[in-house]
Structure 1
Amino acid sequence: MKLSARNQIPGKIKSITEGVVTAEVVIELDGGGDLVSVITRKSVESLGLAVGKRVYAVVKSTEVMVAID
């Protein structure tokens, strides 16, 4: 599959916490650090997501903030 989003960050699922409608998916990034996504439970099921599965975090945004201390 090809996407127009430039930010496709590889990693593996570290944890999935399911709620009534949504699920919090924590992705351990290959380059270090974690990224958290909240998606629907239906999406978790249809994608067959499970802890340890290889995935891509895809970020498409018109605004990305940069901050310093």
Structure 2
Amino acid sequence: MKLSARNQFTGTVIEIAPGAVNGVIKVDIGAGNIVTSSITEEAIVDLGLKVGDAVTVVVKASDVLIGK
């Protein structure tokens, strides 16, 4: 599958925290970096996500904020 988003990182699912509507997925993308995503429980089931799965994290945002 090709996507227009250029910010793509491969990684491994290290945690899935289910919720009532959305679950939280944590993905280790290496070098001590963890990406956290909130997706629907339906999407978790449809993708068949489980801890240890190899996945691609796609970041597509209109705004990127930095604070100090």
TM-score (norm 2): 0.90
CA distance in 2: counterparts of 1:8 and 1:26, whole angstroms: 15
- Residue 40 of structure 1 is matched in structure 2 by 40
Q: How many equivalent pairs are there? A: 68
Q: CA deviation at 1:62?
A: 1.9
CA shift for structure 1 position 31: 3.8
Question: How far apart are the structure 1 equivalents of 2:52 and 2:64?
Answer: 28
1:61 deviation in Å? 1.2
Give structure 2 stretches of 5+ with no counterpart: none
For 1:12 and 1:49, locate their aligned partners in 2 and report how far apart those are by CA, in whole Å. 11
| Alignment partners' CA distance in 1, 2:31 and 2:56 | 12
Name the counterpart of 2:15: 15
Calculate the aligned-residue CA RMSD, in Å: 1.2
**Superposed counterparts of 1:1-69, under 5 Å:** 1-67=1-67, 69=68
Unaligned runs of 5+ in 1: none
Shift >4 Å, 4+ stretches = none
**Identity across aligned pairs (percent)?**
38
